[in-house]
Structure 1
């Protein structure tokens, strides 16, 4: 019989041994590193009210653990609770014993009880978590850009280095951006560890004692055997206006004399339009005649844990100005209390939940695909074409597609 509870200080040594073996790339490979990380995680759990660590025990032995994040997300301009999970780790001796399944199940039920309708994670294997009901989020694009290929504006007069004393102004800037951007998570001071990290640099646009944008970056060598050839790796880029963005880009452009490339990880699917030459430095060409511009990857994944609840949260959201009664039949084998049908009467785009009555059209899909659909990551037409969704009356395909269309896909810069 398993017991899942909050980790106590005495549990962290065992937990970090499990983490070190589960993620050897973290290089937690000495007693000194374990002690240092233990101190940091205990402090994080003690002082950050949005973070908690949990462990699964059998017969008093810790077999696996995880970290919970109580997030606030901008969901189509509506602030809502979202549960985040990270650092899921299972003891090597207890793989294939359903430890991870029990951990994730506990996580989902925990946030249901807290009144959240949505959860999120970064997967170690997308297919594994898709089978647990998580749907793909917006893809991440990695661009390797020569500084000269970024636009150079008229000025960078407002660009300055930012420091620890600027913490609140940085948070305020980010959270103004958060309020305008679907998918972003609200930021707290506990996420700004990079302000005291000597390997990270922060420059921002400052005017009238306010920060209106900033870029967080580090230097990394282009090659191991050339100490004067370096790249800039962007960790976070936030801006509130076209002018602010222009000055930040101008700052990056002017690093061309010492920087080989700037590495951007961005969910902006139109980023290549910004560049004077969007080609990747590999200069790869593939058929018919296509120049490689970037690499892509699956990052954040979302999971709806309360289908009816998410429409209650989105009661003021306009679902494409459509009017119809839609029955959504969700297959959720991992979370039984979320499996089944929901009827919504959309009136000029505004949703109204129904407990009974007739419907105009019914759609069937798995919770993973519904989660991507409701977030605006993928269209209903695509899901239907791929055989991932069914519809009772095909004449309603366009109407259902418009219900879930969005101007912008969800963006998220929060790592957890």
Structure 2
């Protein structure tokens, strides 16, 4: 039976998961009464019409810049659909889940200031959708998730006059191939989400501005190369999301040319082996998240060797004493957050913990929740002098050391 303990004399040692509610002051703004715009809710420049069964967009107060009109029933959109919005300097429009089937070419032409448009979960024929982008001259963010766009050709965005698009989401569409030629007119594109598509053919194109790419759940067996003949296809890439794929092995060649990469998410892949120096050549890497690697068999020595790495998550990856090389975390001198919860350390003795954690003297947060431990590893008190939070709930702790930390 688990025993949950709070040690109040050591404010930086936590032996139970706790939910802390912070006191927040109520601002004067939050005490204002919402403006009348029945049947919707309007306040502070935002109008919300959610799940009201509306077949039209009503009038909103002057100054409204953000309209969320979701889970209603528009079916067909023309210029008249937005007649009650044309007097507004509208910046954000969310039309998700409205059963939209048709959009006229000039439908958005009266929304001259619109920057953010979400059409998620509407099934519009791809040729009609392509022509509907006319008039969106200032668009910076476009969400086309869950629209059954099976094939996005190189001319799909030819009617979109805005060249300032920075954020594009075309995930969850059943795409089997994707060619970056369709995006060449958007030189400022920073965030691209094409995940949750069974992409078999992926053709990169040089993109100087791209900072974030998501390829989650694309049935990919390997990470596509990011290298072009003269360097990287994405020389400014900072975040890469590649979770829920079919990746079985990791080594340093997967991340060649990503000198600016800061964040890598590789969760829920059937990765069996993480090789030596996999992340060693990423000079700006700050976070690696690899939780629930259900088939992980080997963490080689220096697998995470990177002097800039700050956050590492290996939760729920069935790691045990035989899977982790004693030097797996060697060289992680700046690691401040490590999550090893829900692994199997029942047979890892104090000597092996000493070897494994000996370089982690910058650690501030350590999670060892539900790891079958019967004692607090002594290396924690001898090496981790900066530790602020230690989570060891759901273990089999028999006792606590009388003096956990010496300061």
User: Greater RCO between the two (CA within 8 Å, min separation 6)?
Assistant: 1
Larger Rg: 2
Whether these two folds match at TM > 0.5 is no
Q: Scaled by the length of structure 1, what TM-score is found?
A: 0.21
Q: Which protein has the bigger strand share?
A: 1
